[in-house]
Amino acid sequence: MKIFLDTADVSEIRRAAEAGLIDGVTTNPSLMAKVAGDRDPKELFLEICNAVDGPISAEVVAVDAAQMISEGKRLAALHDNIVVKLPLTEDGLRTCRALTSEGIRTNVTLCFSAPQALLAAKAGASYISPFIGRLDDIGHDGMDLIAEIRQVYDNYGIMTEILAASIRHPQHVVQALMIGADCGTMPPKVLYQLLKHPLTDRGLEAFLADWNAKVGKEL
């Protein structure tokens, strides 16, 4: 499963990319708004693209298809790594079809049902982003949606990649891995929670204590 970092914070992105932990980045207008300030958002997207050599999802903010298509083309022209992120609306899917026919990669976001995921795939989406945590928030099991979409896409040989989004904790990642999601996007906090295990820390501490007690030399 590809791991994407769900943030627009360039220092977090560099840290994870330099450690080889991530395959790409996803952003959304809320994440961009947190860090963009007065900066030109396009510059920020470029900075992110230069920090990670992988798919970088950049979301349109227009709501009608004509404007979304123009925004999408402008975003895609910024850098080869850009994947244009589009909302799962009729206009979003029209835009998806138009951009796909020009060879531009798309990530259709705000997916909350398997039929929505099917329609996005028909419109040519490269990625579909089902939101797990936001379904959990309203008392559903968000992971059921990942499993349903996996089944639908496998039943019909659909190649759109399932990008599990709105991941809130490591267990979401484990479940997405077991179901076979193609990608998962998570905030930095969850990425580093995946890395940590108390037995790893305890084991390393014991190895070094034994070494220092008997040998104590650098290698």
Question: What is the secondary structure of 75-142 as a DSSP string?
Answer: HHHH-TTEEEEEESSHHHHHHHHHHHHTT--EEEEEE-SHHHHHHHHHTT-SEEEEBHHHHHHTTS-H
**28 scored as a contact of ligand G3P (CB under 6 A):** yes
Of the residues 34, 73, 85, 122, only one is catalytic, namely 85
β-strand pairing of 56-59 with 127-130: unpaired
Interacting span for ligand G3P (CB under 6 A) from 12-20, 36-44, 126-134, 208-216? 126-134
**Site string (133-162) toward ligand G3P, x via CB under 6 A:** xx----------------------------
Q: How far is the CB of 112 from ligand G3P (least distance, A)?
A: 11
Alpha-carbon gap, residue 83 to 118, rounded angstroms: 19
Instruction: Check if 85 is active-site.
Output: yes
The closest of 89, 166, 159 to 126, measured between CA atoms, is: 159
Tell me whether residue 8 or residue 210 sits nearer to ligand G3P (CB atom).
8
106 binds ligand G3P, rule: CB under 6 A = no
Asked if 88 touches ligand G3P (CB under 6 A), the answer is no
| Per CB under 6 A, 166 contacts ligand G3P | yes
For residue 138, the minimal CB distance to ligand G3P (Å) is: 11
Measured CA distances, 51 to 30, 139, 165 (Å): 20, 37, 21
Positions marked catalytic: 85
**Which residues are at the interface with ligand G3P (CB under 6 A)?**
6, 26, 28, 131, 133-134, 165-166, 185
